[in-house]
Amino acid sequence: MSTALVILAAGKGTRMNSDIPKVLHPIAQTPMLVHAMRAGAVLAPERTVIVTGHGAEAVAKVATAEDDGTKIAVQDEQLGTAHAVAQAREALKGFKGDVVVLYGDTPFLQPDTLERMIAARAENDLVILGFEATDPARYGRLIMSGGNLDRIVEFKDASDEERAITFCNSGLLACDADTLFSLIDTVGNDNASEEYYLTDVVEIARTRGLKVTAVACDEAQTLGVNSRADLAAADAVFQAHARTELLDLGVTLMAPETVYLAADTVIGRDTVIEPNVVFGPGVTVESGATIRAFSHLEGCHVSRDAIVGPYARLRPGAELAEGARVGNFVEVKNAEIGEGAKVNHLSYIGDASVGSATNIGAGTITCNYDGVMKHRTTIGENVFVGSNTMLVAPVTVGDGAMTATGTVVTRDVEPDALAVARAKQDNKPGYARKLFDMLKAKKARQNKGA
């Protein structure tokens, strides 16, 4: 049976107090909408439809960047969840199969939960996702009769007996496409908000004699984000879970609560992560590496036994080979650092390649930008770059070469050559004392005048 996803992402999220659409606020540096899309991807959907509204263009851009086959439907007026799903009808035209309705601000849904919903669909016309609530007061109650779901009762409409029920509605459902839109067509807006509620399809389905059930999941999977406080809490939940996973996989986190991970961070076992390390999107660290304290990594790859930091920054395109070392206050961007190479102190290596076993001295800079274009620096193997060397790209330093301390390299250095490019030093005896006396006298006159 084919499957389609409809992800509701039209809400403004007034309580977020933000110009950014709610579903684009990030958890672990990834928009909530993308979390929902990745959860749904386990079903290998034939079609994915994102229903947008507030900030539709921005939401569509993020959705299609994640999956360029995604279809976009626009809900110009926010008239309720059933109305939102109805906007996906045209994008699902001709589709025959199950539709799973998700929410773009519910980022923690697990793939196995969706698989269980689809499995339940084999024996039911409509499947609702429910959860046992710790504090069920504000949720709609799922009224079950054996394995059948009879109805959903909102708290304000529930009897005392129904309010005692803790099995609650998440808002997610799975249903055959034709059946779903047929049910939605019957939903009315005769309520205080004059909105079309998706939950009403349960009662309509039951009156038609359709079989309806509910699948249960952990409450944490249904956690929605409606405010900045919710966002911070959701991010904390993600971080705690991700850190525990790394520890279980054999990664050493010296102070787990201080390590910040992105949604796609990959770290191999026997890697050591020291305190206060931040991982941005797109980072892979292979087994046995060490990431020292206060380092920041994003869009980079760190190979086995490499050492990064402390206080290092790896920017997108940084590639460290096995045993490479990038030390304190070093920044690497769009550059490859070869096997066993060292960039240990106070340097910037950008748009460059550094060969194996090369040593980059303190204060070295690859001058890669001319104000308009970026240019590349190529440094060979077993090169010794002296401290405070400026490499003005485009330039190549051959294997086995050396640059003298303080050299400004503006043309290629052939293999095994020594490059020296600095002004001749001239010592003037007694000039320091004369200069200091002159400056002190000037300062005394200024102070007297004041």
Catalytic residues: 345
What is the CB-side half-sphere exposure of residue 223 using CA atoms within 13 A?
Answer: 21
What secondary structure letter does DSSP report for 15?
G
Dist. CA 291–CA 326, nearest whole Å: 10
Q: Beta 331-337 vs 348-354: how paired, if at all?
A: parallel
List Cα–Cα distances, 423 to 405, 408, 410, in angstroms: 12, 10, 14
DSSP output for 235-263: HHHHHHHHHHHHHHTT-EESSGGG-B--T
DSSP output for 140-209: PEEEEETTEEEEEE-GGG--HHHHT--EEEEEEEEEEHHHHHHHHHH----STT----TTHHHHHHHHTT
In the chain, the amino acid numbered 427 is: N
Q: Beta 359-360 vs 342-345: how paired, if at all?
A: parallel
Pull the structure tokens for residue 367: 């001058």
Strands ordered across the beta sheet of 290-291: 252-253, 272-273, 290-291, 307-308, 325-328, 342-345, 359-360, 384-385, 402-403, 418-419
Of 100, 161, 167, which is closest to residue 140 (Cα–Cα)? 167
Q: How many residues does the chain have?
A: 450
Pull the structure tokens for residue 450: 């004041």
* Phi-psi sector, 276: left (phi>0), alpha (psi -120 to 50), beta: left
Dist. CA 206–CA 151, nearest whole Å: 8
